[in-house]
Structure 1
């Protein structure tokens, strides 16, 4: 019986080369959506196939992989992707942001600042920031080519007129390298500033829409806003994580099962655990002293 040939990182070499070529073009033109031949993956489209294809095309035997889903390392989506990558590469897995060389994420950028030795891959459901008011692909391509973004400015203006503020709580559009308006993936507004002059390479992949785009290191990234209605990220002033006490991170609003009161908790679970461990070590050191 003939043994089936298996490939490192699941995809065949031809597929990985094609995805890498599209990735190189995306890096060369920050914020520009590069079409690519999205492959069929053993997970449903919309569950991170674009990000997964980027990860599989870039991962090497020496890489250390971290996968998170909305800040959590243990969610179903994150665990499934980690299992697939690990089973086809045997690369080391980690939950520590600072130890990872390759990070795939859905809806969050880690709290710990990334470094030049890391690559962040973001999963994207809808890469076209103009799609909310223009359904035709050939027209959105033309609008990008002509740098004609009045429609998206009008959309933001209408939100201000209706709600008194822009209502894009996630996936707030950004201007990359003073040229292309880009969808940053459904990360919260809190994470948008982390893209500006990031030391790490940020890659964004949309499998269903068959697009790859990128924010190279040290690139200007500005969230769209008016002079008199400046961009504002989520404000957690006066609140702190009920577990580790962090105040300068993105917090989830929860309800205490026992008291019924509102409590806050770090969205980035590994950051919270790491902070708790450090606080415990400091307490032990103080007692020993």
Structure 2
């Protein structure tokens, strides 16, 4: 059978369009196998909430994702399908997202009768931190971080809007700013009370209120990294040390490939004899 150049072109185009789909299905099957392996090891249902950029469609367009209502619907469904006696492990890797969706997930985890463990391999900021606070135990990588949960109104922190009105005074602030300040006060109060409810059963009442105020009042910038050591100092149930399987799972949620990689290394563990020993300075 002789094919024209035009027909060959269209065949190659169709194959190029199907190849990413086939690869994605292969990765999905590998994820499921690894998730089942981790579940058998830990004796718990494993749920992942991982937001990374992934290549999609023919053109490889990267999408940046955040916690949304669709995420909360899926996680609530997973929790409903979990027997009350079965522990839940949640792998969290997210920059945050909608407060509504984060609160729904946190409440559902808090109500689960069996133990809930949140695993943080890299970071879980904002709404991700709120979800982590609902867990009975938070296991982090030694270099992983959580973040403040102070509410944001558009592009401005609610606490900063309140501070601007305090400095200028009600008489000099515009009506729009005063309205935003009123909403900010309500948002700060609501988030702080919610965080307190998440912590009330895990520590003494005064400590829970103090920690809730620290995390929700805007003491730090919204992207401030809170390390495991700082979280432990606050009295939160945080430990460090994740299993290798969790890191393998994260590698199955790849970032989009770049023409020239910013970071490059040989992806195998080294023994001491593999590298020439050099005297310390």
Q: TM-score range by the shorter chain?
A: under 0.3
What is the TM-score normalised by the length of structure 2? 0.27
Relative contact order: is structure 1 or structure 2 higher (C-alpha 8 Å, sep ≥ 6)?
Answer: 1
The structure number with the bigger radius of gyration is 2
Give the helix-richer structure, 1 or 2. 2
What is the TM-score normalised by the length of structure 1? 0.26
